[in-house]
Amino acid sequence: MSILIHPTYFPSIAHFVAIANADDLVFEMDDNFLKQTYRNRTYIYAANGKLTLNIPVIHSQKNRQKYRDVKIFNEENWQSLHWKSLLSAYRTSPFFEYYEDELLPLFEMKTDFILDFNLKCFEVITECLQLDINTSKTETYQTDVNDTKDFRFLVNAKKEQPQNFEKYTQVFSNKHGFISNLSILDLLFNEGPNALNYLESQTITPQ
């Protein structure tokens, strides 16, 4: 099965359920950048509940801007803030220290374009998950996807469909209960090497 998705910032578990159950992954590279999507945000489980990590971007004055042309606003010290948030949320999780050294460089290097940064994040996460998948990139915007299953709808953070994924143990679940479909980081830090088995055992349906 081949699937089509948008590259996002530390993708949601729903994204990775689709990816883990696919044979081939096609990244949509020619779409327009839209606000309030997972292109520049992810959700983690912090001490006070669900927390948004948002990458600041530079918006052009034009009405439409290609995703691949959007630059990160690196004048803000967002990487340090995101890393401190992850430390605060997950340093007591079972597997944070196990993956810390692989993830930290992402928060120390400077990248100009949000799309490039998201692809680097994806690369590191697939290594952590030990997930092998064939990837390719579109050259034009895909309107007729034919034999490819279209999961691009998963990029919409505000129009998200509830996912009935199995519960797993989360650091603060005794405070706020189970929160479904957070960033893949939440699953990785809590389940470690079992994360891939978890993803492969879940199902998601394309719209």
Which residue bears the tokens 């530390």?
A: 10
Does 60 score more than 90 pLDDT? no
Does 135 score more than 80 pLDDT? yes
List alpha helices for 21-111, DSSP H. 78-90, 96-103
Backbone angles phi, psi at 5, to 5 degrees: -140, 165
Q: Give Cα 195 to chain centroid, integer Å.
A: 14
Does 40 score more than 70 pLDDT? yes
Confidence of residue 161 (pLDDT cuts 50, 70, 90): low
The whole model's pTM is what?
0.95
Give the containing element (helix H, strand E) for 88.
Answer: helix 78-90
Task: Give me the mean pLDDT over the 167-172 stretch.
Answer: 96
What is the C-alpha separation between 44 and 57, in angstroms, rounded? 20
The confidence score (pLDDT) of residue 141 equals 84
